[in-house]
Structure 1
Amino acid sequence: MGVPKRKTSKARLRSRKAANRWRPPGLYKDPKTGNLHLPHCVDPATGSYRDRQVLTQKTEE
C-alpha cells in the first residue's frame, strides 16, 4: 500500500481542493432580445440559435 513520504502542506492541499470548486455556469446574453441562456445552446425563450430559427414556438390561445 502506498504511504506518503512527506506531509502534504496546507497550501498544496488547498490548491488541489480549489481546482474542484463549483462554479456557476457562464451565461450568454443575447444581443437582440437580452435573454440569458447557456452558450452554444438554443435560446429556450425564442427558439433561435446563431440568428436562425431552430425551434417553433407554440402560441396559447
Structure 2
Amino acid sequence: MEEFSISQMMPGEKTRLPYEDATIPLSELPEAEQDNGGSTESVKEQEMKWSDLALQFA
C-alpha cells in the first residue's frame, strides 16, 4: 500500500482510500453493549478519564 498525506494532495483532488481492512486496537473501540445507554467512549478514553479523576483527588 502506498503511503501519502492529505497535505501532499492538490486542492480539488479527490481522495482515493484503499479498499483494505484497517486494524484497530480493541482498546480504541467503544464498548460492545450500547443498548443500555452506555458511553460511546473507547476503553482507552474511559481509562484516561478515571486516571484524571484519581489525580484530582490525590
Higher strand share: 1
Superposed pair shares fold, TM > 0.5:
no
TM-score (ref. length: structure 2): 0.24
**Structure with max Cα Rg:** 1
- If asked which structure has higher relative contact order (CA below 8 Å, sep 6+), I would say 2
TM-score (ref. length: structure 1): 0.24
